[in-house]
A = this chain, B = another copy of it.
Amino acid sequence: MPETFGDRLRRIREEKRLNQAELAERTGFQPSAISHFESGRRAPSFDNLKKLADSLAVTIDFLLGRETLPTTAGPVAEKLFRNFEKMTAEDQDDLSKFAAMLAEKNRRRQENK
């Protein structure tokens, strides 16, 4: 059985360590709307699909299971990379180290259940 849209949404949300209420707040939905999407009760409309992808900082294609890289998109990612271009190489290294630290922190949390 293939992974449904709802399954994928849930998986990505949990990877980003958001609960339904938090994701609802970011997207401007009711928490129940997230639940409806994840359980397959409703399919998000055009506009709301965009909001979900933005809030999770992933591509819509990734959200829909067309696994083409990069998986990252949206306003947060765009701002980050735009600013990345505007700093010194040294600052870029520092930023990258900070990112590695955050990613590592998340990896360890994943381990400890």
**Which A residues are closer than 8 A to B by beta carbons?**
5, 16-18, 22, 26, 43-47, 49-50, 53, 55-57, 59-61, 64, 66-74, 76-81, 83-96, 98-100, 102-103, 105-107
Q: Which residues of B contact A50 (CB under 8 A)?
A: 64
Main secondary structure of the interface of A (DSSP, over half): helix
Number of copies: 2
| CB-CB nearest in chain B for A57 | B92
Q: Is the CB of A89 within 8 A of B16?
A: yes
Q: Known: A46-B44, A99-B83. Contact between A73 and B91, CB under 8 A?
A: no
Report Cα–Cα, A84/B95, bound state, in Å. 11
Q: Is the CB of A18 within 8 A of B49?
A: no
